[in-house]
């Protein structure tokens, strides 16, 4: 898989983001209502990448800068968003490869922790993050009071 920095406004990014929203609808009955704008992922405020296999977009993900807030987020945090692999490309390690790429980019940008919000109906995501050293943290964001929400974080050191 070739990973390209595209930005969140790229047509392939928008298509994959629409696809992941449909995945949320299937699992939770609604898309993710978290506010996101394309400029949230423009350096130095963030990064958005797409994984291509044989020229086709098969995976995506990004992070955006977060700062200290009342929900326990800290200066130096970056929030992982829109991690997704198309169904036909799952089970090939693309999500793990993309996650490690995003972690390295966050470290290079001076971020000290990655945080994310996922849900109990995404056991494969929870399994991936747990296997990569993420642990549950205090809930934050739009779904912090939702019973199916899980928030996780990982301290970033030198990879």
For the chain, what are the domain ranges?
A: 2-155
Residue 4 contacts residue 49 (beta carbons within 8 Å): yes
Give the residue-averaged pLDDT of 4-20.
97
pTM for the predicted model, two decimal places: 0.95
Look at residue 158 and tell me whether its pLDDT is greater than 80.
Answer: no
Are the C-beta atoms of 116 and 134 separated by less than 8 Å?
yes
pLDDT band at 157 (very low <50, low <70, confident <90, very high): confident
User: Residue 105 phi/psi, 5° resolution?
Assistant: -65, -40
Is 2-155 a CATH 3.40.630.30 domain?
Answer: yes
């Amino acid at each position: 898989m070739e990973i390209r920095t595209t930005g969140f406004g790229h047509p392939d990014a928008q298509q994959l983001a629409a696809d992941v929203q449909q995945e949320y609808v299937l699992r939770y009955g609604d898309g993710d209502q978290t506010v996101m704008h394309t400029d949230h992922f423009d350096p130095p405020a963030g990064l958005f990448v797409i994984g291509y296999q044989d020229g086709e977009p098969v995976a995506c993900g990004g992070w955006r800068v977060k700062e200290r807030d009342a929900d326990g987020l800290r200066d130096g945090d970056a929030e992982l968003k829109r991690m997704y692999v198309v169904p036909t490309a799952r089970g090939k390690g693309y999500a793990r490869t993309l996650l490690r790429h995003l972690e390295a980019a966050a470290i290079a940008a001076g971020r000290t922790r990655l945080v994310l919000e996922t849900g109990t109906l995404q056991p494969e995501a929870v399994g991936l993050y747990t296997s990569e050293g993420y642990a549950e943290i205090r809930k934050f964001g739009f779904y912090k009071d939702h019973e199916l929400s899980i928030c996780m974080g990982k301290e970033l050191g030198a990879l």
